[in-house]
Amino acid sequence: MSSITAQQTWYENSSSIQNIHFNTATGGTFITNEANLEINGLNLNTTVSKFIRNGEANPTISFDLTNPITDLSSYTISLKAYTTLATSAFNSTNNSIRLSLRNSSLGASAVTFDQSLFTEGDTWESFTFNFDGITIPTAVILAGGYDQIVIELASENETALTSTYYIDTISGYSEQTVPLAAILSGSWGVRFNLHGGIRLDNDSDYDWIGGAQEIVDNLPAVGHIITNFTHPAHGYFYTLRDNPYVDIANEIHPGMVPSLENEQIILDVIDVFKNAGKKVILYVNGAGPSRIQGNVDATEAGIVVGWENYYTTNFAGDEGLAWQTLARGFFERFNGLVDGYWIDNVSNLPGDLNAFIAMIREVDPDAAIATNITKSYVKDENGDNIYVDSDATDDEDPTDYKVFFLEANDPYMDFTAGHPTPLGQGAPPNSWAYEEFSFPLITENPWSSYDGSKLALKHYFAPIRQRWSVASTDLIFEAEQAYRFIRTFTDAGATITWSTTITDGLITDDEMAIMQDLNDRMMQFPKPDYEPYVRPEGAFLVGETLSIDSNEDFNKLTLFPNPVKQNFRLSKEIASAIIYNTTGQKVLEFKSHQASFDVSLLNKGVYFLKAYSEHSKIQLFKFIKQ
């Protein structure tokens, strides 16, 4: 048996260590931060994780590794476990515990495992799983290594077990790096839109510092703030003035930067938030100075001319390098003061995006970055976008809109940008379809990965009014639904930011009233329950009937996402389901009432799902497993 002294703690509730991340559980329910039933010399932690078997086969708990395992020399993984089965009830199968290494893209085709046995019930035991000397298959190496561990509790053939297990202190031989956005996991936040450039100078009567302090005083439960590197939606008005690489006011245009006195505002605002323990993310418009948005005034017209002259003269016409250099100067000044950046308008960024992101990483390797490039939308079994037809019986807007969901869409992001389906396309930010189709994917797994190399946290950036940051438009959210949104994200370990509106330097009164209501609930222990989601009367998708519960409507089921990486959902709970491969062989079967399905064990390829209703009606789906 190899020594475990070099192991790193990967996962432990009491110390809030999550260097690996819970993915999914099958055959039972996985719960974190449960009370330790037996605090003893083997396990002094007060809180642990809990798994309740539901009597089905294949009882597993899977975790994603942030750094895949590519070498098993002297490799061991250890954990502590507790079973409520009495020792006298042990038999040859129900006291087993197995730990498998798996590549998520290959599924069950190349799994390596080690197995042990509980020797005593109703007490903690320590287990070490030894993989030393095992050769990793070539297919796994080519796929990037083992990127998941799977814990199986009692034999998969041992059905009808409804025992409870406790898991704690999972440790491994290799270092698992904490994802950069882990600082936002389980956090909810607000936006503090601070102006830049000449617009900041023109707002001399705004109480910016007082507005920041009001957030700290009124909203202690808020974990993070998004404020500004550039003016909202403008890549040419900056909150700082001095830049080590360019005298912007004299070399380009004075309207781009605030006065030296007013550049202190953003620094003081950051101090207020950081001194209160808040994480600070800065909004950056990635398009740079040449991308004028909205109506062009004299100042903006002058900025365009000044910028073109500057990069033509000083960078031989290389606008991308000029923008990267200017931005670097401000990133260097913010380094050590903030925790990350939300980069907008990336599709219009001049120059090479890889180089721009690499520059930020070089300046601040620990910064969590979101890139607003593209969105993902829920699709049906044919790969077509689903559309919402109606939001309620009184919906007078004839526009049909797509249903976004959150996933890593590029290799740069550490957390998703989180913009919903554009408001201008008729999609309200509190759409029932988000709660029904998109959010269940978040509760199943708050993390996503673009290419398997790292994890990105699912983040929803939610407008609270009919238009982003326009105080004169109507509020969309009321407190009860907003509370359900917060709990849906934070309970799952994801994150949500409310795009609160600033008036005279403070969050508008009506929005602050809602935020305080949310804060008061989130500060309670235990937190009060929220009203469960119910589809509004008269809400339906294009092609659906008004009633989603009728037997006739069974054939309107939607499968999403498709293609699927690990889990897919159906738009309605079904009685049972069978999955077949392209040769007609049955590969998976689900017998319980459910709407969510774990297919992570399947190999890549095309599969068919046969879904059965309570009345034995059948609907067929084709899906692609990635």
Q: Which of 461, 445, 456 is nearest to 408 (CA)?
A: 456
Distance in angstroms (rounded) separating the CA atoms of residues 313 and 318: 10
Instruction: Check residue 5 and give its pLDDT.
Output: 41
Query: Confidence class of residue 555 from pLDDT cuts 50, 70 and 90?
Result: low
pLDDT digits (tens, 9 = 90+) for 568-579: 888 777 888 888
Q: Which of 110, 79, 97 is nearest to 7 (CA)?
A: 79
pLDDT digits (tens, 9 = 90+) for 125-139: 999 999 998 999 999
Distance in angstroms (rounded) separating the CA atoms of residues 231 and 303: 14
Q: Which of 423, 435, 428, 598 is nearest to 531 (CA)?
A: 435
Three-state secondary structure along 568-593?
A: EEEEEEECEEEEEECCCCEEEEECCC
| Mean pLDDT on 414-441 | 93
Domain ranges of the chain: 8-177, 182-373+406-522, 547-625
Residues β-bridged to residue 370: 342
Domain spanning 547-625: CATH 2.60.40.3080: yes
| Residue type (1 letter), 619 | Q
Question: pLDDT higher for 260 or 586?
Answer: 260
| Mean pLDDT on 596-604 | 83
> Can the peptide bond before residue 428 be classed as cis, meaning omega within 30 degrees of 0?
no
CB 234 within 8 A of CB 228: no
| Mean pLDDT on 51-58 | 86
Q: DSSP for 355-417? A: HHHHHHHHH-TT-EEEE----EE-B-TTSPBPEEEESSTT------EE-EE----SSS-SB--
pLDDT digits (tens, 9 = 90+) for 232-262: 888 899 999 999 999 999 999 999 999 999 9
Instruction: Check residue 110 and give its pLDDT.
Output: 82
Q: Which residues of 76-107 are buried (b: 16+ CB within 10 A; e: fewer)?
A: bbbbbbbbebeeeebeeebbbbbbbbbbbbbb
Q: Assign domain 8-177 one CATH number from 2.60.120.260, 3.90.1150.10, 1.10.10.10, 3.50.50.60.
A: 2.60.120.260
Query: Confidence class of residue 204 from pLDDT cuts 50, 70 and 90?
Result: confident
Lowest mean pLDDT among 139-143, 224-228, 336-340, 353-357: 139-143
**The pTM of the whole model exceeds 0.75:** no
Q: How far is CA 577 from the centre of its chain?
A: 29
Instruction: Check residue 160 and give its pLDDT.
Output: 67
* Residue 305 burial (10 A CB sphere; 0-12, 13-18, 19+): exposed
* Residue 160 burial (10 A CB sphere; 0-12, 13-18, 19+): exposed
* Number of residues that make up the chain: 626
Residues β-bridged to residue 34: 48
Q: What is the DSSP letter of 436?
A: I
Mean pLDDT over each residue of the chain, to the nearest integer: 90
Task: Decide the pairing of beta strands 340-344 and 279-285.
Answer: parallel
Distance in angstroms (rounded) separating the CA atoms of residues 289 and 383: 39
Look at residue 6 and tell me whether its pLDDT is greater than 70: no
Quickly count helices (H) and strands (E) in the chain. 12, 35
Query: Confidence class of residue 553 from pLDDT cuts 50, 70 and 90?
Result: low
| Alpha-carbon distance values, 439 to 306, 315, 402, 491, 504 (Å) | 46, 46, 15, 12, 34
Distance in angstroms (rounded) separating the CA atoms of residues 479 and 208: 26
The architecture that CATH gives domain 182-373+406-522 is Alpha-Beta Barrel (3.20)
Residue with tokens 């561990």: 149
